[in-house]
Amino acid sequence: MTVDEAAIKERVRAFLARHDPAATEPLDFLRARYDAGLAWVHFPEGLGGLGAPRELQNVVERELEGTPQPEPGKLVIGLGMAAPTILAFGTEEQKKRFLRPLWTGEEIWCQLFSEPGAGSDLATLATRAVRDGDEWIVDGQKVWTSSAHHARWAILVARTDPDVPKHRGLTYFICDMKAPGVDVRPLRQITGEAEFNEVFLTGVRLPDTLRLGTVGDGWRVAQTTLMSERVAIGGSPTRRGGGAMSTVADTWRQRPELRTHDLHQRLLRLWVEAEVTRLAGVRLREQLAAGAPGPEGSGMKLAFAHLNQAISGLEVEMLREEGLAYDDWSFRRSDTVDFFGRGAGYRYLRARGNSIEGGTSEILRNIIAERVLGLPSEPRVDKNVPWKDLPR
CA dihedral defined by 274, 279, 285, 288, rounded to 10 degrees?
A: -110
Our finding on whether 302 is near another protein (CB under 8 A) is yes
CB of 277 to another protein, least distance (A): 6
Alpha-carbon distance 64 to 37, whole Å?
13
CB of 274 to another protein, least distance (A): 10
CB of 290 to another protein, least distance (A): 11
User: Applying CB under 8 A, which part among 8-16, 81-89, 209-217, 295-303 lies near another protein?
Assistant: 295-303
> Buried b / exposed e across 52-77, counting CB within 10 Å, b at 16+?
bbbebbebbeebbeebbebeeebbbb
- Out of 198, 229, 296, 315, pick the active-site residue: 229
Our finding on whether 254 is near another protein (CB under 8 A) is no
Classify residue 318 as exposed, middle or buried by CB count within 10 Å of its CB (0-12, 13-18, 19+). buried
Question: Are the C-beta atoms of residues 152 and 105 closer than 8 Å to each other?
Answer: no
CB of 306 to another protein, least distance (A): 9
Classify residue 270 as exposed, middle or buried by CB count within 10 Å of its CB (0-12, 13-18, 19+). buried
Nearer to another protein, 27 or 368 (CB): 368
Alpha-carbon distance 147 to 108, whole Å?
8
Catalytic residue flag (residue 195):
no
Closest CA to 293 of 243, 359, 234, 237: 234
Our finding on whether 382 is near another protein (CB under 8 A) is no
Pick one of 32, 164, 187, 280: the residue that binds another protein (CB under 8 A).
280
Our finding on whether 365 is near another protein (CB under 8 A) is yes
**Residues 218-247, interacting with another protein (CB under 8 A):** 240-241
Side-chain half-sphere exposure of 210, counting CA atoms within 13 A: 22
What does the binding site for another protein look like in residue numbers (CB under 8 A)? 240-241, 249, 252-253, 256, 259-261, 264-265, 267-269, 271-273, 275-277, 279-280, 282-283, 286-287, 296, 299, 302-303, 362, 364-366, 368-370, 372-379
Catalytically active residues, by annotation = 229
